[in-house]
Amino acid sequence: RGFLTGSAAAAGVAVGAAGGAYAAHAAQPGPATDTAGLNGARTHDFHGTHQAGVTSSPGAHGAFLAFDLPAGSVKDDLRRLMRLWTDDARRLMSGAGALADTEPELATAPAGLTVTVGWGPKAVALAGGSEAVPSWLRPLPDFSIDALEDRWSDGDLLVMIHSDDPVTVSHALRMVSKDATNLATERWRQTGFRQAYGSHPSGTTMRNLFGQVDGTANPPLASDDFAARVWIQDGWLAGGTSFVLRRIRMELDTWDQVDRIGRENAVGRTVDTGAPLTGEAEHDEPDFDAVDARGFPIISDVSHIRRARPDDPSQRIVRLAYNYDDAPRGNEPAEAGLLFGSLQADVDAQFVPIQRRLAEADLLNVWTTPVGSAVFAILPGCTEDGYLGDTLLD
Ligand code: HEM
């Protein structure tokens, strides 16, 4: 419903023909009057112990925005901004326009929108003093594989926006940016995409731009395993987590030259189903001890999954990845890659050992280069009377 059909569409074309340049307009769909059952009507509850952007499966479109607090910011400024962003998230996630929204029509299809807020060390110190800053909340140690650029790194505040509708993401992003005026300045913005809603059966693991099934080893949302990896248990961050965002360039041109055997060897999984090289189906457990007829490991010791998998289960992370594919800038070539997000209760205990092992030896390093890096504390969720950050700001 709401779409021109049959004779109406024909009439549209006829009107358009008479109207010259506006022909295409006349045949466009009108506003939908019945949203029941549409993915656009899908909402996540903003309130709760945790922020919904961590507890829900990520939308097809994602935007990550980092802001800096201007010199001279005081605690009251941060509180004001958090109240504004909380109000934005609360309204937009329910499908309503933001306060004083000049385009509330752009908010009517949340399509699973989540707006999630995190803080860098400066914001935490402003809110609660330096003793409130977790020891892991700082730039990551240097890794030999890094070629980091300032324009994709660090930041005092993070806003992460996910939805299946790119128009909704763009609108939410603008509301959040407008509300930050005079309180914070945008430092960087990174946008990415996953498979569109409806393109694949629900529950299908996404593919990255190397064509690999990416995300298999993640635990199911809402499982005990997920909770154990992700949630901080104590202090003002209880119910929150930490987030590392690595922007990783992927060399699609040289990857193109690698044959299928080389590609599968680099990861330790097949390209078609994502099954481990020792198994049949995507979710079969890899057997790292299995050897071939000549006695060589079937999954290479320097394959990505062998290096990335911690022997100690308490060091596991939850990955949240978006593809990106950006236009050339000046004389630079186009850049594609992965916005590699990692959620964990403790960056130093979980993320860093994995990244260290990968930096030391990982076949994928031949075709991948981290060019951005940032670490944030993802705030706990809030109640209907509260606001994001109130566990430290009040
Ligand atoms: C697994 C790709 C970067 C940690 C995988 C898998 C693929 C993949 C295809 C196998 C399927 C799966 O379980 O998801 C990539 C690509 C990267 C990248 C293309 C860079 C562009 C990273 C980084 C880290 C990481 C930076 C962490 C520092 C992991 C972990 C697993 C994994 C922990 C699961 C291992 C297991 O327990 O089986 N990755 N990855 N990856 N990756 Fe990555």
Best residue among 324, 340, 357 to mutate for probing ligand 1, ranked by most atoms within 8 Å of CB: 340
pLDDT in tens, 145-168: 999 999 999 999 999 999 999 999
To test the pocket of ligand 1, the residue of 140, 216, 263, 304 to mutate (highest count of ligand atoms within 8 Å of its CB) is 304
Atom of ligand 1 nearest to the CA of 218: 13
284, two tokens: 């079969």
Residue with tokens 């996630």: 93
Handedness of CA 56, 191, 160, 369 (dihedral sign): positive
Neighbours of 259 (CB within 10 A): 8
- Taken as a whole, the chain contains a residue count of 394
- The mean per-residue pLDDT over the stretch 124-144 comes to 98
Residues with CB under 6 A from ligand 1: 208, 210, 212-217, 246, 248, 250, 267, 269, 274, 304-305, 308-309, 317, 338, 340, 354-355, 358, 364, 368
Question: Which residue has 């890899």 as its token pair?
Answer: 286
pLDDT of residue 17: 34
Would you put residue 241 in left (φ > 0), alpha (ψ -120 to 50) or beta? beta
Q: Tell me, in angstroms, the distance from the centre of ligand 1 to residue 373's CA.
A: 16
pLDDT per position as a tens digit, 273-288? 999 999 999 999 999 9
Residue 32 CB partners (closer than 8 Å, separation 6+): 1, 2, 38, 40
Q: Please list the alpha-helical segments (H only) found in 194-310.
A: 224-230, 252-255, 260-267, 304-308
pLDDT at 35 (0 to 100): 73
pLDDT at 229 over 80: yes
Q: Which atom of ligand 1 is nearest to the CA of 215?
A: 14
Residue 231 has pLDDT above 90, yes or no: yes
For all residues of the chain together, what is the average pLDDT? 92
Q: Which two tokens stand for residue 101?
A: 């929204």
Tokens 């055997």 map to which residue? 261
Q: Collapsing DSSP states into helix, strand and coil, what is residue 272?
A: coil
Tokens of 28: 């466009």
% pLDDT > 90, the chain: 88
Helix, strand, coil % over all residues of the chain, rounded to 5: 35, 20, 45
Name residues whose C-beta falls within 8 Å of residue 232's C-beta, 6 or more positions apart in sequence: 238, 239, 240, 241, 242, 345, 346
Measured CA to CA, the distance from residue 374 to residue 244 in angstroms comes to: 6
| pLDDT for residue 21 is more than 70 | no
pLDDT at residue number 269: 98
Q: Ligand 1 centre from 248 Cα, in Å? A: 12
Is the per-residue pLDDT at 247 higher than 90? yes
pLDDT, tens digit (0-9, with 9 covering 90-100), for 87-104: 999 999 999 999 999 999
What's the pLDDT score for residue 19?
Answer: 34
Task: Select from 214, 265, 366 the residue to mutate for testing ligand 1; criterion: most ligand atoms less than 8 Å from CB.
Answer: 214
Is residue 25 very low, low, confident or very high in pLDDT (cuts 50, 70, 90)?
very low
Reported confidence tier of residue 33, pLDDT bands at 50, 70, 90: low
Average pLDDT over residues 201-218: 96
Q: Which residues 6+ apart lie within 8 Å of 317 measured at CB? A: 229, 342, 343, 344, 350, 351, 354
pLDDT on residue 72: 96
Query: What φ, ψ does residue 291 adopt, rounded to 5°?
Result: -125, 160
d(CA 155, CA 69): 9
The residue whose CB lies within 8 Å of the most ligand 1 atoms, and thus the one to mutate among 144, 226, 229, 319, is: 319
Q: How many angstroms does the Cα of residue 178 sit away from the middle of ligand 1?
A: 36
Q: What's the pTM value of the predicted model, to 2 decimals?
A: 0.92
5 φ/ψ angles, rounded to the nearest 5 degrees = -125, 160
pLDDT above 70: percentage of residues in the chain: 91
ipTM exceeding 0.95? yes
